[in-house]
Chains A and B, each alone.
Chain A
């Protein structure tokens, strides 16, 4: 299982995430349909963004799946975040008032 705190990048768009809460499902985490790889890993040159998974993602938002996995987008990109072909969903947080 991927460790909490691991940073990953997309191979087909600008997306970068950090794993906030890991789950086995994240072993198949994808952005734009292609597997996400470690931040320092070489990107594969011959894969492209899957048009069916190109809704994009939002900077600073947390995305979750049904298995309790959670990732934070640290750099937004054009690819949809998914586990396999199932898109992750944005975790809606109730806004808290500024307290510091």
Chain B
């Protein structure tokens, strides 16, 4: 089905409900629907075959998602933090796009030979335009998202209407939210979580409150002001929110659910957040752009059981991403394709209607039976909880031995003097690669490199001991909290060039 139908259902069943709050703008489901009809008219009359969006999001994201759907063209929210060249390069890969840009980015994309319209102009035109309501083919592409490109050239992931609506109708109960429910959305519009938040909260009947440029104090203020009941954050945001809550002790009485994901969250941070917000249900969500968002969740009950468990195998689940959602199947496979059993690490494969696995210019990477290779190293425990061990591309090969950085990071981050860390492989003449731990010290601490190496050696095999420990004030991350490992590796390799 078309994503447009999700809005149609929301607006026909409860037209006067507040759908979203974004800065000064408040729209009911009916107003959002009317604006999307007009927006579709604007897009249709431009003769564009694609819509690109450069901006910080807020109301513009749901508006463009539904306007494009009703004009039967695909939409691509782009990373507004990219350079002008970076943006143009991606826009050039889209077929005859209409570029919609927030005022501050209009100049950045102007002169690229594309039709450009500002977000404000788009909204103004949508209010008066003749409505267009094409019915998009459910198997056609609704959204194209570029991968973050932390390890290679960004790939254009194609998500069809069916991929997205299967995810929504399979994991969200229509209208199940209570009238007072409100979700605070601070994930960027170009991230799959931004797209899925706009669809799932609308479908659940939950007011969407947008925070377009993240600031932890503002986040805390908005939770209180708008009576926010649920929110989703990436690890770096959680870290900053926890820091604010620790110093200011602000109560967040309305907040019932806090989901985190996007990349791995260090366990000490999860424990600290759980103790600071004892009445909040924590949700760890794992998914990829290619899978239309979440494919596994660690529920609030799972968090509590793991935290209170005496049994080590249950306690360990606090570091898992929970169990696959009912509409997705998972398999762990060895390099030769053999399906592995519980406890055996291998590559995670997933299958389901929400899984796209298709890229523009590359085609589908699904195998003959529809399985998608995630490139994530993972294992399942006896009860089916999924543990993610990082990207297979990040594997360090030291003297012929494969080493997963996550294993060492999980140990190091538990050291009281370590706030954050990333373990990477640096070039080495003797070993091929050596293990380097890049450590951000805990506030006020000055950890000793030898002490940290000993700490790891005490818990893991000798070959897992970092050869070297370097210190840094912070780790380079992208906006969604992914550590830019390539950046660390090139710094390390450059620093040991002979003078």
**Measuring CB to CB, which residues of chain A are less than 8 angstroms from any residue of chain B?**
4-5, 18, 20, 59-62, 72, 74-76, 93-100
Residues of B close to A74: CB separation below 8 A: 5, 8-9
Residues of B close to A60: CB separation below 8 A: 9, 13, 173-175, 203
Nearest CB of A to B230, in Å? 5
Residues of A within 8 A of B259 (CB): 97-100
B9 touches A59 (CB 8 A): yes
Residues of A within 8 A of B257 (CB): 97-98
* A20 partner, pick from B13, B169, B201, B299, beta carbons under 8 A: B169
Contact across chains for B200 and A98 when beta carbons are under 8 A apart = yes
Please give, as numbers and ranges, the residues of chain B lying within 8 Å of A95 by CB-CB distance.
Answer: 173, 176
**A98-B259, A98-B283 as given contacts; A5 in contact with B12, CB under 8 Å:** no
Q: Which residues of B contact A98 (CB under 8 A)?
A: 183, 200-201, 204, 206, 230, 232, 257, 259, 283
| Nearest CB of chain B from residue A5's CB, rounded to whole Å | 4
Interface-central residue, A74, A75, A96, A97, by most chain B CB under 10 Å = A97
A99, B5: Cβ atoms under 8 Å? Answer: no
Contact partner of A93 (CB less than 8 A), chosen from B12, B13, B173, is: B173
CA distance A61 to B175 in the complex (A): 10
**Nearest-CB distance from B321 to chain A (Å)?**
11
Is B281 interfacial (CB-CB < 8 Å)?
yes
Are A5 and B138 closer than 8 Å at their CB atoms? yes
Q: Say if the beta carbon of B162 comes within 8 Å of chain A.
A: yes
Which residues on the A side are within 8 Å of B294 (C-beta)? 99-100
In the A-B complex, the 5 residue pairs with the closest CB atoms: A60-B174, A99-B285, A5-B138, A100-B196, A100-B197
B157 nearest CB across to chain A (Å): 16
B297 touches A100 (CB 8 A): no
CB of B58 within 8 A of chain A?
no
Bound CA span A37–B206, Å? 32
Identity of the chain A residue whose Cβ is nearest the Cβ of B187 in the assembled complex: A100
Interface: B449 (CB within 8 A) = no
B173 with A5: CB separation less than 8 A: no
Residues of chain B at the chain A interface (Cβ within 8 Å)? 1, 5, 8-9, 12-13, 138-139, 162, 169, 171-176, 183, 187, 193, 196-197, 200-201, 203-204, 206, 230, 232, 257, 259, 261, 281, 283, 285, 293-294, 297, 299-300, 325-326
13 A–B contacts from the bound complex (CB under 8 Å): A18-B5, A59-B174, A60-B9, A60-B173, A74-B5, A93-B173, A96-B172, A97-B299, A98-B206, A98-B230, A98-B257, A98-B283, A99-B293
Q: Which residues of A contact B326 (CB under 8 A)?
A: 93-94
Interface centre among A5, A60, A100 (most CB of B within 10 A): A100
Closest chain B residue to A72, Cβ basis: B169
The answer to whether A59 and B169 touch across the interface, beta carbons within 8 angstroms, is: no
Contacts of A94 in B (CB 8 A): 326
Asked if B281 and A97 make an inter-chain contact with CB atoms under 8 angstroms apart, the answer reads: yes
Q: With a CB–CB cut-off of 8 A, which chain A residues contact B12?
A: 75
* Residue in A closest to B137 when the chains form the complex, CB atoms: A5
Note all chain A residues with C-beta closer than 8 A to B204: 98
Considering the complex, give the chain A residue whose CB is closest to the CB of B325: A96
Report whether A61 and B174 are in contact in the complex, using a CB–CB cutoff of 8 Å: yes
Q: Known interface pairs A75-B12, A98-B206, A99-B297. Does A5 touch B176 (Cβ–Cβ under 8 Å)?
A: no
CA distance A60 to B8 in the complex (A): 11
Task: Report yes or no: A100 in contact with B285, Cβ–Cβ below 8 A.
Answer: yes
Q: A74-B9, A99-B283 are in contact. List 15 more A-B contacts (CB 8 A).
A: A5-B139, A20-B169, A60-B9, A60-B13, A76-B13, A93-B173, A95-B176, A97-B257, A97-B281, A97-B297, A97-B300, A98-B200, A98-B230, A100-B196, A100-B197
Contact A59 B13 (CB under 8 A): yes
CA distance A20 to B204 in the complex (A): 18
Q: A99 — which chain B residues lie within 8 A by C-beta?
A: 171, 232, 259, 261, 283, 285, 293-294, 297
Contact assessment for B193 and A100 in the assembled complex, using a CB-CB cutoff below 8 Å: yes
In the bound complex, CA of A21 to CA of B176 (Å): 23
* Chain A positions within 8 Å of B300 at CB level: 97
How distant is the Cα of A18 from the Cα of B135 in the complex, in angstroms? 13
Complex alpha-carbon distance, A15 and B174, angstroms? 16
Alpha-carbon distance between A75 and B12 when the two chains are bound, in angstroms: 8
B171 cross-chain contacts in A, Cβ below 8 A: 96, 99
CB B66 to nearest CB in A, in angstroms, measures: 15
Chain A residues in 8 Å Cβ range of B197: 100
Closest to A61 in B: B174
Q: What's the Cα separation between A46 and B29 when bound, in Å?
A: 35
A37 CA to B491 CA, complexed, in Å:
65
Q: With the chains together, A99 CA to B262 CA distance in Å?
A: 11
- Collect the chain A residues with CB atoms within 8 Å of residue B285's CB: 99-100
Pairwise interchain contact B230-A59, C-beta atoms closer than 8 A: no
Option from B183, B196, B203, B283 in Cβ contact (under 8 Å) with A97: B283
Nearest to A93 among chain B residues (CB) is B173
Bound: A39/B183 CA distance, A: 34
Across the interface, name the chain B residue whose C-beta is closest to A70.
B169
Cβ–Cβ < 8 Å partners of A4 in chain B: 138
